[in-house]
Structure 1
């Protein structure tokens, strides 16, 4: 019987293909990939919306996330001949960015498994942006949509919300998907989105530095969101990138800045290359984050954590950062659409929140795909490790990235920060969010804004 290398399979396995293995929908990995290839998305955009930074960020994030989840392809209609308002990839045209990210620009709405729209004149499930309020509305519903007045991170969040709805639609996993109103304020997630205070305020400065812990799904989502911030001079922004791991094929299915040409490269070096191309100043740290790591006065005073290791997360308040923002994503069949955000210091210490690691659910090994691998020669220990690999979705990471970077921007502007946010995109109406106390205020340093890129 041939040897089955389950570690290699785990490194290569598409994280949404694993979803169908764990539900039992697919009996083999090949079947799982064929199922994802039936998912396709068409995005129709209003050309006027594409003149704004928020609208462009929404489209770019949609294509970037959707090409990793809708393997049947992503087509886009209505894209005008305009340059990027924020030079994320240099001075290139929006159409070129869509193609570069894996979409295909077409001249009319095309048949697809799901349709979404960006802008009032577009057709499909609609992503909306108004100030700091991101939304997703069923076609024909009344909504507030002012992309020209929206903060750029709102566009990223709107894309994450809407692609998640489209994904649930094509999977037929949620009867409510595409039939409801979803809205979320990045400024005050603890308020109803229609509260006038939820719309937020224009920032006067942008953060001057950040330390990113972990450069997988979440860490790359943070970096993607930071890249869209309209710095007057991006070279003034100081970024420390920490990760000890290398990119694997599976990272392409979840992580917004990874493609298959990067497999085998150190995450920190690959992400530093991307950040430096955006114009940022970078430092890399290639070691695990643990209680032994200490920062000094020359380091960024605020950390954005995106690791899923409980031991590392429990040490977040031990390194000496002035403030920490942290997000975690669900990783299984029932919670892969879930995210949770914490800020520290907070109501509970990091050591109280994380004291151990979860184990793989043993019943997963009884699913047809795992039995198939066992019958073909995979050992039980290797299968347990494979079953423990996470299910992950790039659009959930994109939304989390916008939320976390929004917290950093608000901190730099003396705005209202969030102590805890708990959100499941299967039932977003049950969002729970709690504001930080006034004692959380902290000055991380600020940089000038390129005004043309923030409200356009």
Structure 2
């Protein structure tokens, strides 16, 4: 996170002497009340304030500045992040290290502003704030901390690549929305048949993804059940089974008979099934859908349809080719979901896969709530560099671009012509088809309490250009102001939070990691269709609340130029 606006105010106190108050603003939405700190300074005349501005991840000074500060005056400076502030007084200089994650008052007491930092707030805590369900941030956190989920793995049921992808996806997405923990029991000491961070067994991978391995699931948990047969009833009455058949993936009530093979290899369908299982469990525990857990829900990645039965749909072909070159724009919720699904594909060892990774931001605490390749240890690292490290460990080659995607781009013939977009910037999306890419596949997710389970996929070129599919931010812009009347926002206001900071917080999206995971399978499936010469869809629209998931699928019937996206034979 970088700061683009800083106000420095000197206040005089008859008791403590001069006090320097520092207020920072967000790069994306500049404001006055982010990461503030009040610093007691030695009594005496302050002559000047010297600010050392560094990119903290490089620990390198890039722009020294000096300000003369007088009581009651303000000075502004556009910068990156402040790491050290030196107040030069008539006495000895005082060095103060900025605290990146906390608000510290003069007496050291944490204040309400610490709660409203949008870069820290869990996106499902925000769901409970925005819906009015929670009366305070603390109550929202307590509710989410009570959510728990169980996974039971029957012997031999998670040995195939697709079902291992389903299990790991369920653990990974589950631990980000069931903050009370994801407990896993059953047969996990089996060889891992898909690549994950050097792990050799399913148990190791489960633990690496923060699943809690137990000998027996405790009572009271919603169950996700891997295996054939009918499991014993849980005390909650909720038990579902992820199922995969070729390119088809979904969830059935665990008591339903199944005729699906457990030896499936198409991992995107496994990711789909695992994410759908967590979606059903989350909707059930929240009471969002009365049918969640008691219905058949899934889709075909080979032939997405708003009407066809996914259980009887054509299973699709076996993979023979995989993409060799891709450009990814945006490395947050969606971008990391693309990499998660891409990383499970069966690339031969030594394959030359070239990925261009583009983003300008650093990972924040909030990313851990939605982004599948983020954990708390990575907070503060540039997204491009964190994802490049993951990709290169996987065996992919990477090139990094750390600048805003805009219409002034002009890609060369040697660069990937197939782009996957997951950026949440509307202006960037409006110029996707204007910089020379041959094919663009992009996804968008719902923003608010009623829309956060929604997803939409576009491909370009299509019947309409990108700037007609996405309105400018100046047209019909969304106003978050009504949200601050909800009890949790009013509670923050009463505790001293700034109204401008609350409005900024309200403008951020609600999000759930399993939604991005589902969207990623549709996007990667479109890539796989494209590289084997099949047509792709121009629009896919859906909502995970719906039993059919998809509400609209529009084939791309435009006459498109042929191009070579780069292939790897498997």
Q: Say yes or no: TM over 0.5.
A: yes
In the alignment, what sits opposite 1:452?
none
2:228 touches 2:258 (CA, 8 Å); kept in 1?
no
Q: 1:241 aligns with which of 350, 357, 377?
A: 357
**Offset at 1:138?**
1.3
In the alignment, what sits opposite 1:443?
564
Q: 2:218 aligns with which of 104, 110, 116?
A: 110
Q: 1:178 aligns with which of 293, 302, 306?
A: 293
1:407 touches 1:418 (CA, 8 Å); kept in 2?
yes
Deviations 1:400-427 (A, max 9, x none): 1111111111111123422111111111
Q: 2:261 aligns with which of 142, 146, 164?
A: 146
1:414 touches 1:442 (CA, 8 Å); kept in 2?
no
Secondary structure at 2:447 match in 1: coil
Structure 1 residues 235 and 74: alpha-carbon distance in aligned structure 2, compared to 1, 3 A threshold: same
RMSD (Å) for aligned C-alpha atoms: 1.9
Structure 1 residues 430 and 148: alpha-carbon distance in aligned structure 2, compared to 1, 3 A threshold: closer
In the alignment, what sits opposite 1:330?
446
Alignment of 1:279-290 (within 5 A): 279-290=395-406
2:529 touches 2:536 (CA, 8 Å); kept in 1?
yes
In the alignment, what sits opposite 1:20?
128
2:458 touches 2:538 (CA, 8 Å); kept in 1?
yes
Distance 1:108 1:368 in 2: 40
Secondary structure at 2:415 match in 1: coil
Q: 2:502 aligns with which of 372, 383, 401?
A: 383
Q: 2:538 aligns with which of 408, 419, 429?
A: 419
**Offset at 1:6?**
6.8
Point out the structure with the larger helix share: 1
**Offset at 1:352?**
0.4
Larger RCO, structure (CA 8 Å, separation 6 or more): 1
In the alignment, what sits opposite 2:34?
none
In the alignment, what sits opposite 2:163?
55
Deviations 1:34-89 (A, max 9, x none): 10111100011233231100010000010000001001110112233222212232
2:160 touches 2:262 (CA, 8 Å); kept in 1?
yes
Structure 2 spans left out of the alignment, 5+ residues: 1-37, 39-104, 106-110, 232-238
After TM superposition, the structure 1 stretch with the greater mean CA deviation from structure 2, 436-445 or 248-257, is: 436-445
Structure 1 spans left out of the alignment, 5+ residues: 450-456
2:421 touches 2:440 (CA, 8 Å); kept in 1?
yes
Deviations 1:344-366 (A, max 9, x none): 11122101011223423332111
2:196 touches 2:205 (CA, 8 Å); kept in 1?
no
Alignment of 1:272-421 (within 5 A): 272-357=388-473, 358-421=477-540
Q: 1:208 aligns with which of 310, 313, 324?
A: 324
1:6 touches 1:386 (CA, 8 Å); kept in 2?
no
Distance 2:382 2:250 in 1: 36
Distance 1:414 1:257 in 2: 31
In the alignment, what sits opposite 2:119?
11
In the alignment, what sits opposite 2:270?
155
